[in-house]
Structure 1
Amino acid sequence: MFSIPHPGNFESLKIIVNEIKKYRKNKNNKNNKRIKNKKIGDKFEVYLGYADFIGTGRATLYRPSIEDIKRQIEYAHKNKIRFEVAINSACMGALHLTPKGIDYIKNLFKIFADMNLNSITLADPYLIDLANDCGLKVNVSCISLVDSPQKAEFYDSKEVYAITLDSSINRHFDIIENIRDSVSCKLKILVNEACLYKCPMRVQHFNFFSHANIQNIPVLDDYYYNRCISMRVRDKELVIKSPFIRPEDLKEYDKLVDIYKLSGRSHPIGWIKRVLNAYLNRNYDGNLMELLDCPRELESHYYIDNKLLDGAIEKWKTCDKFCNKCNYCKNLAEKVIKVKK
């Protein structure tokens, strides 16, 4: 299954649905047969952020109302597509544990349950318990930083629908394999998020977005993002070390995870279309930077011929990540990354 980022407005959803329809039609024509199983969400889901009282851990382009979301859920279901809402704030300043906060959240979750929302993305264990009480299926957010079998087992014991793994372990195949063996829920993996590997600012950045969304703070700058970009301008091997997964390398994960999640709901729909089609086709000829979320600004600075990375996954699958003893990514960066002029 593919989980597709959705900016939040109805017109963007229509564009995403049309791309899915074209893919299904082409696939059926190639196979000369119909899709065997037509249950909602067998192949696709879309997700959007709802930056309300709880907030989200990412920036958002649009702030859909509850009425907008209900209409979009109905449209997605009509086209046999799951619908998921991300309310995955990393921190709510303890508001979620106040009487007012608890009542508000329970009411919101009941509203979503009545809309037949397929699942909700949450980062806080307490909110997961509340969602379960309201009959909602939960996808554990990547913001929960699930990077070990022990953490995964904790959330799996809550009978969650899925766990989105911390992207930092995308190339730790041994950890993913052990998580797969330890849980019964579905596993999601972010394929095109290219944050810094083991980013030391990740928690602070998620908290920054969470509070900015909840309180609608007029922030002047995003220190963490700017710092992230500047680090990779100075040291381009950090781009190669980012835990992205190329479209061509999805086959290495097919037996380990259930859902490939595309990152980028804060980007324009044209960019999302390009990324979606690249991963659906498991092939991309061009600049890999055009597919990667997070350092999207570097698309105008770096050119990486995606095909030059063919075979690199074999090294990453067995790498122990002790970079001080290995220059593979450094040498690869020198070979494949070109600075645009």
Structure 2
Amino acid sequence: MKFSVGLPKNNPEFVTCIIENKEQIHEVYFSWGDFPNGRSQQVQDEEYMPWELIDIQREHLKKLSESRILLNLLFNANCYGKDSQSRAFFEKIGETVDYIKEHYGLSSVTTTSPLIAKFIKNNFEDIEVRASVNMEIGTVEGMEYLSDYFDSYYIKREYNRDFEKIAQLKSRCDENGKKLFLLGNSGCLNFCSAHNFHDNLVAHESEIANMDNAYHFRGMCHEFLKKEENLKKLPDYTNFIRPEDISKYDGLAEAVKLATRVHPNPEMVLKSYIKGKYSGDILRLLEPQHSIYPYVLENGEPLKLVKII
């Protein structure tokens, strides 16, 4: 299995790790500039000025491109607000795609927006257009509705362990010349009722940061897992794929995406999945991570909830 890995804002050691393991890398995905996306904006950081982050990203993309590693550009925000349909917004997208193609090469775009997908499809025939995991596509019908604009799809994460469902979707993709991808290390809880709300907050993060906010929202999962009685349900309420199980998906997916853009130790995540082995608290591999101290979720088959004090 090959992996799609996210490019952190400033982690040259991880870029080196990617290049050293490029035979196992399907692509590197990244956001650009001030475009909202599924995480904080690329140019938004407490430690660096925006121009510094731009320079760092350009340097890293250049190294990856020179190593002939495929690049995937993200337009995967859940909401683009007033810009969602504006002519200026699509002109900006076109200029961005043109620039990245010319300077680094660009093989694919991942988006949550059918309009962005349509725009890329109509203007950049050589670029693969992929439906984001945040579109929550989990049925044949869901793929068919979008088939004119998307070349590939991320399967709804809740079906990661449903091999019958994956095989059904893979078969339909094969019949129609499409590709199927999985997200391997999501820490999101299954069928989270607040997931869309949370993704919308992330999309508007820069605006929200300038407001006098009455509440801070970290995600309902953190509140849910504060209650000790809920911890025993954690293995069944999650959808991550253990590194030891990754080989079971050979032939079922084009690649497995690893969430590494904001993970504190992306190198550990990538190497664990490449080796197909991890020892310890499996929650450390996930994004978002969950601290359930004084418990850990010990990796194994089955997973074990262990109290460490």
Query: Shorter-normalised TM-score: what interval?
Result: 0.7 to 0.9
Distance apart, 1:221 and its partner CA: 5.1
Equivalent-residue separation in structure 1 for 2:274 and 2:97 (angstroms): 32
Q: Does structure 1 residue 174 correspond to structure 2 residue 164?
A: yes
| Counterpart among 15, 18, 26 of residue 16 in structure 2 | 18
Q: Structure 1, residues 281-320: CA drift from partner, whole Å, max 9, x if none?
A: 00111111211111x24164431221242xxxxxxxxxxx
Hey, what does 2:117 align to over in structure 1? 128
Q: Does structure 1 residue 3 correspond to structure 2 residue 8?
A: no
Distance apart, 1:16 and its partner CA: 2.5
Hey, what does 2:96 align to over in structure 1? 108
Alpha-carbon distance change, 338 to 281 in structure 1, aligned in 2, over 3 angstroms: same
Do 1:188 and 1:258's aligned partners in 2 also have CA atoms closer than 8 Å?
A: yes
| Counterpart among 228, 232, 235 of residue 237 in structure 1 | 232
Hey, what does 1:147 align to over in structure 2? 138
Alpha-carbon distance change, 107 to 62 in structure 1, aligned in 2, over 3 angstroms: closer
Hey, what does 1:84 align to over in structure 2? 72
| Counterpart among 14, 22, 31 of residue 49 in structure 1 | 31
Do 1:8 and 1:48's aligned partners in 2 also have CA atoms closer than 8 Å?
A: no
Do 2:111 and 2:131's aligned partners in 1 also have CA atoms closer than 8 Å?
A: yes
Query: What SS does the corresponding residue of 1:94 show, helix, strand or coil?
Result: helix
| Counterpart among 259, 266, 269 of residue 262 in structure 2 | 266
Distance apart, 1:338 and its partner CA: 1.8
Distance apart, 1:132 and its partner CA: 1.9
Do 2:284 and 2:290's aligned partners in 1 also have CA atoms closer than 8 Å?
A: no
Equivalent-residue separation in structure 2 for 1:262 and 1:277 (angstroms): 11
| Counterpart among 272, 284, 291 of residue 285 in structure 2 | 291
Distance apart, 1:98 and its partner CA: 2.2
Equivalent-residue separation in structure 1 for 2:16 and 2:87 (angstroms): 43
Letter aligned with residue 97 of structure 1? Q
Alpha-carbon distance change, 221 to 339 in structure 1, aligned in 2, over 3 angstroms: farther
Equivalent-residue separation in structure 1 for 2:43 and 2:307 (angstroms): 33
Matches within 5 A, 1:248-267: 248-267=244-263
Distance apart, 1:257 and its partner CA: 0.7
Alpha-carbon distance change, 22 to 56 in structure 1, aligned in 2, over 3 angstroms: closer
Do 2:109 and 2:128's aligned partners in 1 also have CA atoms closer than 8 Å?
A: yes
Query: What SS does the corresponding residue of 1:223 show, helix, strand or coil?
Result: coil
| Counterpart among 239, 246, 251 of residue 242 in structure 2 | 246
Query: What SS does the corresponding residue of 2:193 show, helix, strand or coil?
Result: coil
Is there any run of 5+ residues in structure 2 with no aligned partner, and where? 45-49
Equivalent-residue separation in structure 1 for 2:186 and 2:281 (angstroms): 15
Q: Does structure 1 residue 223 correspond to structure 2 residue 217?
A: yes
Equivalent-residue separation in structure 1 for 2:198 and 2:83 (angstroms): 20
Do 1:289 and 1:302's aligned partners in 2 also have CA atoms closer than 8 Å?
A: no
Hey, what does 1:316 align to over in structure 2? none
Do 1:73 and 1:117's aligned partners in 2 also have CA atoms closer than 8 Å?
A: no
User: Mean alpha-carbon deviation: is it higher for 112-121 or for 212-221?
Assistant: 212-221
Do 1:290 and 1:299's aligned partners in 2 also have CA atoms closer than 8 Å?
A: no
Structure having the higher helix fraction is 1
Hey, what does 2:108 align to over in structure 1? 119
Q: Structure 1, residues 146-194: CA drift from partner, whole Å, max 9, x if none?
A: 111111233343252x322221111222221111111222221111102
Distance apart, 1:89 and its partner CA: 0.9
Hey, what does 1:281 align to over in structure 2? 275
Equivalent-residue separation in structure 1 for 2:306 and 2:143 (angstroms): 39
Is there any run of 5+ residues in structure 1 with no aligned partner, and where? 25-34, 36-41, 310-331
Query: What SS does the corresponding residue of 2:4 show, helix, strand or coil?
Result: strand
Hey, what does 1:314 align to over in structure 2? none
Equivalent-residue separation in structure 2 for 1:149 and 1:110 (angstroms): 33
**What TM-score results when the alignment is normalised by the length of structure 1?**
0.76
Letter aligned with residue 194 of structure 2? M
Distance apart, 1:214 and its partner CA: 6.3
Matches within 5 A, 1:306-317: 306-309=299-302
**What TM-score results when the alignment is normalised by the length of structure 2?**
0.84
Letter aligned with residue 212 of structure 1? E
